[in-house]
Amino acid sequence: MTIEFLLYPLIGILSGFLSGFFGVGGGIVIVPSLHFLYKSLGYSDEIAIPISLGTALACIIVNALSAIPVHHKNGTISWVNFRKLLLGIVIGPVIGALISVELDKELFKKIFALFIFLISLRLFFKSGESTVEKPISYTIALPFGGFVGTLSSLFGVGGGIFIGPFLRFMGENIKKAAGTSLVCTLPVGIIGALSYMYLGINTQDLPDYSVGYVNYLSLFFIAIFSSVFSRIGAQLTQKVNDKVYQILYALQLLPVFIYWLLA
């Protein structure tokens, strides 16, 4: 049990801060960290990967609920764009969870690594995009929301790393894009976590304190720390220069790429 209680505070602090600061939900930290934890405890990838994903999505709910009020107070949420993306975001996580449980786990790790790397590169080299906000039509928002919901549940990342760049491309201010993407992680987390719980309900040899592919012991101890640091991250968002912020947004993804490439 020692390794768990050493890792939980670190996972909670880092994932919570990244969630509030970048609007990414925190799954990019929680998933590889829990995967490492469960592998070190002797679980195979067939168990370690889906339970890491399901638990990460449950943690994202806590992070989002903690940081959303701060972003709302600071005016860094576009509720209009959130409502347009919502329907697709609600449908997609169920599809993503179904795919993840059946997908070859070695293939999963390599696809995830490549996806994270491409997102990081795009953000790093595209810091000069237009800052003139463009209206997002429902014909674009609905399929994109479904696509994001599917990928988010598939990779346990909440959706912020996809929605933030999309809103930025549509002309949204980088910090408002982050705040809006954070709100979007809430329905992804709820639907995704429930899906993983249901899909794993009859699975044998799960870690203790698990309901399907969600481990509520991990959830509880991570959430203690992440709920506090997500608010701190959201408050610090306002204090960073926009261009520096976008570069930091890209750089945070590189360690995740390296982990999944080598896992």
For position 135, what pLDDT does the model report?
62
Residue 152 burial (C-beta neighbours within 10 Å; 0-12, 13-18, 19+)? buried
* CA 118/CA 20 separation, integer angstroms: 23
Ranges of the chain with pLDDT below 70: 1-2, 25, 119-135, 156-158, 256, 263
Neighbour-count burial for 27-37, b at 16+ CB within 10 Å, e otherwise: bbbbbbbbbbb
Question: Which residue, 188, 204, 182, 228, is CA-closest to 51?
Answer: 204
For position 119, what pLDDT does the model report?
67
For position 25, what pLDDT does the model report?
67
Provide the domain count of the chain: 1
Question: Which residue, 96, 35, 27, is CA-closest to 57?
Answer: 27
Residue 58 φ/ψ region, left for φ over 0, alpha for ψ in the -120 to 50 degree band, beta for the rest? alpha
Range of the domain at 241: 2-262
* CA 34/CA 38 separation, integer angstroms: 6
For position 148, what pLDDT does the model report?
79
For position 128, what pLDDT does the model report?
47
For position 130, what pLDDT does the model report?
47
For position 156, what pLDDT does the model report?
67
Residue 151 burial (C-beta neighbours within 10 Å; 0-12, 13-18, 19+)? buried
How much is the CA Rg of the chain, to the nearest whole Å? 17
Q: Between helices 174-199 and 2-22, what is the axis angle to 10°?
A: 140
* CA 141/CA 87 separation, integer angstroms: 9
